[in-house]
Structure 1
Amino acid sequence: MHSRKPFYIFVFLLVVLGISSSIYRGVEHRVPFLPGEQVNTWAIDAKVSFIGQGGESEVSLALPQDPAFEVLLEHTTSAGFGLAMMDDADGRRALWSKRAVLGQQDLYYKVTLVPTGISRLVEDIEPKTPEAPVWAATEQTAAQEVIDAAWERSGSNLSYARQLVTLVGTEKSQNLALLLTAQTPSRLFINLLAAKGVPAREVSALFLEDQRRRQQLVPFVEVYDQGEWYLFDATSGKEGRPENLLLWERQGKSVLDVIGGNNSQVSFSMLMETRPALATSIDMMETTQGLDFSLYQLPLEEQSLFKGILLIPIGVLMVVFLRVIIGIKTSGTFMPVLIALAFIQTTLLTGLVGFLLIVACGLMIRSYLSHLNLLLISRISAVIIVVIGIIGIFTLLSYKFGLSEGLTITFFPMIILAWTIERMSILWEEEGAKEVVLQGGGSLLVATLAYLAMSASWVQHWVFNFLGIHLVILALVMLMGQYTGYRLLELKRFKPLAGE
């Protein structure tokens, strides 16, 4: 006996590959799994102001580099200045330059950020061990007492940092009061950590609040421990990342450097916007060149065409299930799928009425043609011409009576309708009207169910945005192709055998 194990392994691989690729697309490219999802984005304007001294000027501004946010759009406004975007070991920076700059100058950097949901600050390269700070003679004893108190109550570098930040931010002892007279809380926290060889750096962050203007960056401290940076607020003595915090500069460098100008400053304005999640993910893929193997790189006309074509496997799956498992008879194998596609254009009620009228009129004319003893090719050709004429007449009548829904009847596949009329006519002559009604009604039922599945918004979203779903559909169709048992509608034949 032929083993079916390779077949089931192949089907299993299709399912795994289809589901995996869909999950990857949803997670990696952040394509929403459901249609209509919205995502909040932040539009931030950074305004750089300075007074030019009449000579050459060069302005360097740090750009956001936070894994919790991804850049969707960014551009600058700088009249007369040259611009270069730098991305090196010091992070991303915008560099403006101009030969002669005199008077008040305003430069703008505008960026739209999308939250990624990534809150961890993972670091692949371990930073160098910092050198121990040199304390002033008046601070040496106070600093050593603070270090010893925190070190004794800790068991690791991270717990040492937690003890220190609590002391610096909340417990204002005499020793700390002395140390804070010469240093900011963040700088003191970093120096106390460096005394025990714990890597740390000061970063500049921005609190995101909707419709706020002229906001300034605030200092935070990142402490390294076992491949990850941990965020601390030395001013408040708290650990962790607030939800509305954006890390603007993370390399411990200056945020703004101006050469050839004075009174320089940078301020921030922000606005929260709501955008469709799908459109946002498409824009992000365009920025990162993620559309190389996506249907969205096609022109809009081809995209619209594929949105209809990719619905056909859903209709095919419905036909296979209803015919193989349920046992519904149809006129033609996949004619219901094409009729369902027409229903999507015409709406269900208009499509049903139009289909019944065309087929009814076509059957009457076909009965007349059967008496003419025409050859098959000529008879089919005549039926096609008649169907076109019927559709044209119904369209004109709909327009005359102001029934705009009737104009969509032209979406019906004319060749398929002609063959349907021919098959039903032959079936009427051979099997009688009952079999015509049975198969015709089955075709309409299958077409209606296929339409309901194909017109669902979440189905249309999945089949176009997650192409791996089609591999799962293929696997299901192949599995049902192995079914050789009784159809559900055939079980009634054996009901008498079950007894009362």
Structure 2
Amino acid sequence: MSRLPFYLIVGCLLIVGIAMTAHRHLQFEIPWLPGEQRQVWEVEAMITYNADDGPVSVNFALPSQQQGFRVLTENTASSGYGLAYSADERGRRAEWTTREAGGEQQLYYSVQLLVAPEARAKGPPPPELSSATAWERPYDTAASQVIERAWARSADNATFARELMRNISGEQQGENARLLLTQFDAPELIVRLLHQAEIKARVVSGLELKDGRRRQTLSSWIQVYSDDEKQWWLFDPATGEQGKPDDLLLWEVGGQAVLELQGGSDSRVTFSMLTHSQPAAAAVRNHHSDDTLLNFSIHSLPLEEQALFQTILLIPIGALVVVFLRVLVGIKTSGTFMPVLIALAFIQTSLLTGLLGFLLVVAVGLVIRNYLSYLNLLLVARVSAVIITVIAIISIFSVIAYRMGLNAGLTITFFPMIILSWTIERMSILWEEEGPKEVLIQGGGSLMTAVIVYLAMNNPVVRHITFNFLGVQLILMALILLLGNYTGYRLLELRRFKPITDDESGV
């Protein structure tokens, strides 16, 4: 029979599992390793103004996802005001409204920003070139000479913008630039000159992030559009330097006013900021809390259910280890997947306490089961008696441990009592049919397998990956199917060939 369908299934499981895992990491930024920390900025904007004892409308620009930053959460404090959010191709804004307000007013907006160097955002469309505005004399001559000087010293739009900024506010500032600055602020003048040179540009507002700073204000930056590369270039108008600093948050990039007020006067906005580290998994959950794809997963469940699934998703790891040890190594166990359940109990009890508890319960249970064998009971009644015996043994040991002040002994109650009962029953029958040697082989193999499974399942990296990357379950299934197709010798069976190798070496 052809094995092609089998290998196609295994290949599909591997491809789909790897693709799902990579998608989770790349799309949702789930870290590969546990304990990874991400830097988070908390920025608070305080808007103050004097109301005119009438209706008020406050329209405020909000930050969006951009290069280096992602918006996690945002909140407002505005008692007595209605609040509405809006978003378009030029950015996001918030509008506070009220029917009547008087005197000094304060509105608060706070946002949590995740530092994400890989974050990118599609910039707003380029602005239309402003219609040429006639300069008054002698400003027209000064503007033309500034443009000509920068044009002669440049090679493309980027270098032209840089030279123009240096001529306006940098070291190369001349008399013409000083004359023009008497009529316009530097950022506004630079954009006007760029438009005159038929280069699309606009003024944007940025906030320099410094930990612990209070009452900071926005600064003006220049964005220049490249028609060839279809992207925005950012310039510091004071120096002409190109590029976005890592600590610069662009607050408004649509070329609009940051704050628009109707029904008041003397408006002002200041910013305070703090930074802290946050576990990467928590930051990602906050960022994608409303994402439908992420919510269609165990991360959308209550924490109690999530904790339960965190343990359940470890079972395939234990199954893979058991299949490997039984199929390739050849270790004998009492029960196929009994070691996995015992390993789960070890996770709850700790390894040393679990080993001692397991050995005590099984040893005492075997003694009592040996007595029950003389009563010639039916199988169901005998196993039921063993179950009750195991419960009694665990109860007695728990009470003794508590009386002796050994609180760790109380965790023995996490052992699966039904599995322990069947283990005692199988070992007792094996003792009667095969002798104590086979009991030691299978019992020791089960215990060793349980310890190895425990070490694999209790690894922090394994726990993190199995819980956060569900595609790993498909990869584990593919590996188990491949191991199940193995029909060769087991490692422990190779010792049968040792006499042959000894004879050949002797010859």
Tell me the TM-score normalised to structure 1 length.
0.95
Contact 1:46 1:267 in 2 (8 A): yes
Deviations 1:250-278 (A, max 9, x none): 01111111111111111111111222221
Aligned to 1:144: 144
Does the CA contact (< 8 Å) of 2:17 and 2:473 recur in 1?
yes
Instruction: Give the letter aligned to residue 200 of structure 1.
Output: A
Q: Give me the whole-angstrom Cα distance separating, in 2, the residues matched to 1:442 and 1:261.
A: 81
- Please tell me whether the aligned partners of residues 395 and 407 of structure 1 are also in contact (alpha carbons under 8 angstroms): yes
Distance in structure 2 (CA, Å) of the matches to 1:224 and 1:187: 16
* Amino acid in structure 1 at the alignment position of 2:403: K
* Structure 2 contact 90–125 (Cα < 8 Å) conserved: no
Which structure 2 segments of 5+ residues have no match? none
Partner of residue 267, structure 1: 270
Q: Does 1:442 find its partner at 2:445?
A: yes
Q: Which moved more, 1:156-165 or 1:335-344?
A: 156-165
CA contact (8 A) 2:124 2:254 kept: no
How far did residue 121 of structure 1 move?
5.5
Distance in 1 (CA, whole Å) between partners of 2:209 and 2:126 is: 30
- What one-letter code is carried by the residue in structure 2 that aligns with 1:211? G
* Correspondence for 2:190: 189
Q: Deviations over 1:427-474 (max 9, x none)?
A: 111211111111111100000010011111121111111111111111
Deviation at 1:120, TM superposition (A): 5.3
Q: Which letter does structure 2 place at the counterpart of 1:246?
A: L
**Is 122-131 or 255-264 further displaced after alignment?**
122-131
Task: Please tell me whether the aligned partners of residues 203 and 222 of structure 2 are also in contact (alpha carbons under 8 angstroms).
Answer: yes
Asked whether the 8 Å contact 2:65–2:71 carries over to 1, the reply is no
Could you say which residue in structure 1 is the equivalent of 2:492?
Answer: 489
Q: Secondary structure at the match of 2:437?
A: helix
Cα separation, 2, equivalents of 1:34 and 1:290: 22
Please give the secondary structure, in 2, of the residue aligned with 1:100. strand
Alignment CA distance shift 1:118-1:186 (3 Å): farther
Deviations 1:379-404 (A, max 9, x none): 22221121112112211211222211
Residue aligning to 1:364: 367
Greater alpha carbon shift after TM alignment, 128-137 vs 66-75: 128-137
What amino acid does structure 2 have at the position aligned with 1:196?
A: A
Deviations 1:134-176 (A, max 9, x none): 3333122332233233334444333433333344333212332
Write the distance in 1 (CA, Å) between the matches of 2:15 and 2:110: 42
Residues 205-216 of structure 1 correspond to what in structure 2 (within 5 A)?
205-216=206-217
CA–CA separation in structure 2 for the residues paired with 1:76 and 1:208:
20
Residue type matched to 1:179 in 2? L
Aligned to 1:173: 174
Whole-angstrom CA distance in 2 between matches of 1:253 and 1:290:
34
Corresponding position: 1:15 with 2:14? yes
Alpha-carbon distance in 1 for matches of 2:119, 2:322? 47
Q: Provide the C-alpha distance between the structure 2 equivalents of 1:98 and 1:374, rounded to a whole number of angstroms.
A: 84
- Which letter maps to 1:255? V
CA distance in 2, matches of 1:314, 1:481: 15
Secondary structure in 2 matching 1:65? coil
**Alignment map for 1:45-444 (pairs within 5 Å):** 45-67=44-66, 68-118=68-118, 122-123=122-123, 125=125, 127-168=127-168, 169-225=170-226, 226-444=229-447
Larger displacement relative to structure 2 (18-27 or 241-250): 18-27
- Looking at structure 2, the residues matched to 490 and 228 of structure 1 have their Cα atoms a distance apart, in angstroms, of 66
What is the alpha-carbon distance in structure 1 between the residues aligned to residue 12 and residue 126 of structure 2?
40
CA shift in 2, pair 1:130/1:112, >3 Å:
same
User: Which residue is equivalent to 2:33?
Assistant: 34
Q: Secondary structure at the match of 1:331?
A: coil
- How far does the alpha carbon of each residue in 1:290-328 deviate from its partner, in whole angstroms, 9 at most, with x for none? 542121221233222212211110100110111111111
Gap change, CA 1:393 and 1:119, over 3 Å in 2: closer
In structure 2, relative to structure 1, the CA distance for the partners of 1:133 and 1:26 (3 Å cut) is farther
Q: Which one of 459, 462, 476 corresponds to residue 473 of structure 1?
A: 476
Encode CA deviations 1:65-104: one digit per residue, 9 max, x unaligned.
2413222222211232222222234422121122222211
Letter in 2 for 1:136: E
CA–CA distance in structure 2, aligned partners of residues 217 and 293 of structure 1: 40
1:375 partner letter? L
Structure 1 residues 386 and 167: CA distance shift in structure 2, 3 A: same
Deviation of the 1:132 alpha carbon: 4.1
- The share of aligned pairs that are identical, in percent, is 52
Please identify, of 60-69 and 125-134, the stretch whose mean Cα deviation from structure 2 is larger.
Answer: 125-134
Alpha-carbon distance in structure 1 between the residues aligned to 2:77 and 2:63: 17
User: Following the alignment from structure 1 to structure 2, what is the Cα–Cα distance between the partners of residues 184 and 351?
Assistant: 75
What RMSD in Å do the two structures reach over aligned CA positions? Answer: 1.9
CA distance 1:272–1:86, change in 2 (3 Å): same
Kept in 2, the 8 Å contact 1:66–1:248? The answer is: no
Shift of residue 353 of structure 1? Answer: 0.7
For 2:178 and 2:286, the matched residues in 1 are separated by 51
Deviations 1:225-272 (A, max 9, x none): 122111101112111111110000001111111111111111111111
Number of the residue aligned with 2:462 = 459
- CA deviations 1:37-63 (Å, max 9, x no partner) are 221111111111111222222111111
- TM-score, structure 2 length as denominator? 0.94
Distance 1:12 1:146 in 2: 66
How far residue 350 of structure 1 moved from its aligned partner, in angstroms, is 0.7
- For the 8 Å contact 2:205–2:250, the answer to whether it is kept is yes
Q: Residues of 1 paired with 2:341 and 2:361: CA distance?
A: 15
Note closer, same or farther for the CA distance 1:214–1:442 as it changes in structure 2 (3 Å cut): same
Q: Which moved more, 1:223-232 or 1:6-15?
A: 6-15
Gaps of 5+ in 1: none
